[in-house]
Amino acid sequence: MSDTPRRASAFSGHKTGHTAYDWLNHDQRGVNVLATAQQLLQIERVTQKALPPALAGSCRVARIEGDKVTLAVPSASHASKLRQLAPRIVQLLIQTGWNVNEIGVKVQANLLQGEIKTAREKDVNPLDAQALAAFEHLRKNTPDGPLSDALARLIARHKQ
């Protein structure tokens, strides 16, 4: 055992749960953080109802300041479409009880980083023996050329 003193746990002596939610509810600063996060999520849910599905999936509420809500999107094209829909979003937020008069838009290029799978990360289902045999038969009966080469690469990749 080392001679260095151990830090007391944030939960020492408390009969609270050990979840992040419990910890945030433990003191005033945490309660404020939790309340702000809940507001952001509530406004985000309402906002997403006013947007087309593709835009809703890439739009996040970044900030609430007074009667202005700032929305973050990953590209300028998303921002352009969002600005067109801003009056509809404001109207829906007002209807659901939020005191909002303005929508701001901020482009954050790395907003969805980690949420979008790249071509290399996509889910791949390996071909079974019957499918491999069918592709091998097709390759043997295909004249030499780009298609035959592609079939050979596909077969080699799935045999591994």
Parse the chain into domains and list their residue ranges: 20-107, 129-159
pLDDT of residue 37: 84
Which tens digits make up the pLDDT trace of 88-118? 999 999 999 999 999 999 998 877 665 555 5
Cα–Cα distance between 16 and 114 in angstroms, integer? 33
For residues 142 and 150, the answer to whether their CB atoms sit within 8 Å is: no
Fold (topology level) of 20-107: GMP Synthetase; Chain A, domain 3 (3.30.300)
Three-state DSSP class for residue 62: strand
Local confidence band at 45 (pLDDT 50, 70, 90 cut-offs): very high
CA within 13 Å, CB half, 89: 28
Cα–Cα distance between 92 and 134 in angstroms, integer? 54
Beta strands 60-65 and 102-107 are: unpaired
Q: Is pLDDT of 20 > 80?
A: no
Local confidence band at 81 (pLDDT 50, 70, 90 cut-offs): very high
Q: Is pLDDT of 19 > 80?
A: no
DSSP for 131-144? HHHHHHHHHHTS-S
Percent of the chain with pLDDT over 70: 78
For residues 70 and 105, the answer to whether their CB atoms sit within 8 Å is: yes
Token pair of 150, please?
A: 């592609």
Is this model's pTM higher than 0.85 or not? no
For residues 98 and 43, the answer to whether their CB atoms sit within 8 Å is: yes
Q: What sign does the dihedral 111-113-118-121 (CA atoms) show?
A: negative
